[in-house]
Structure 1
């Protein structure tokens, strides 16, 4: 379950609308629980540096490190990430699945057409002898707005 304050949800939706037709992205900070209830306290917008920002998102690694340092300085953990799908679908795309790298973190997606906000946890097989990603997957998680 992901607890998402309405103020954070509203800020992300506003950014998604302002960023249209490109995807927007950022990092979610707060209290992280890999198997239960994570609580978002803040969102950290990032510039989308993808080559095709209308259909992809990418956070510059240096900017991501700066955001992670800000989170740590504020006593927060990395809860997950967010991005928008300006023209749907309201779920992770094949590209989102191929590029997901943070096991057990939440990936919030704001779809503008049709309008929907959803969250998924990236579940990755973390065994040492693993040679493929066949068992890796997104699991839909419940979003509770406060």
Structure 2
């Protein structure tokens, strides 16, 4: 399970609406609890630098590295990433699955039609498959 505070959820939803028709993306910082739950404390919006931002997302590697350093300086872990599917479902596309490189991190996906937030974890112990996880709030 990933715990997204209400203000973080609203910020991500608003970014997704404002970014339409392009996909938006960002990084989630926080902590892992002993029961495996991840709790989001911060979100870092990033620019989508994909060649086709209406159907793909890509975080600039230098921007991503700078965010990782900020998280480390704050004592937070990388608990996941988020992006939107303006015209698609809140589940990983075939491209999302093929490009997943962070095992045991959450991939939060915002669908605008209908407006839904889904979350998935890419698990190495399940042959690199995505597993749906519950999204909770504070």
TM range (shorter): over 0.9
Structure 1: how far apart are the matches of 2:94 and 2:106?
17
Structure 2 match to 1:61: 61
8 A Cα contact 1:106 1:120, kept in partner: yes
Moved over 2 A (4+): 32-35
Structure 2 match to 1:120: 120
Give the total of aligned pairs.
Answer: 138
* 1:76 shift after superposition: 0.7
Unaligned runs of 5+ in 2: none
Unaligned runs of 5+ in 1: 126-133
Question: TM (normalized to structure 2)?
Answer: 0.96
What is the SS of the residue equivalent to 1:90?
A: coil
What is the SS of the residue equivalent to 2:28?
A: strand
* 1:35 shift after superposition: 6.7
Identify the match of residue 136 of structure 1 among 128, 132, 136.
Answer: 128
Structure 2: how far apart are the matches of 1:59 and 1:117?
20
Query: 1:26 and 1:71, CA in 2 relative to 1: closer, same or farther beyond 3 A?
Result: same
* 1:135 shift after superposition: 2.1
Structure 2: how far apart are the matches of 1:85 and 1:35?
30
Structure with more of its chain in helix, by fraction? 2
Higher alpha-carbon Rg:
1
Structure 1 match to 2:5: 5
Query: 1:139 and 1:76, CA in 2 relative to 1: closer, same or farther beyond 3 A?
Result: same
Query: 1:92 and 1:110, CA in 2 relative to 1: closer, same or farther beyond 3 A?
Result: same
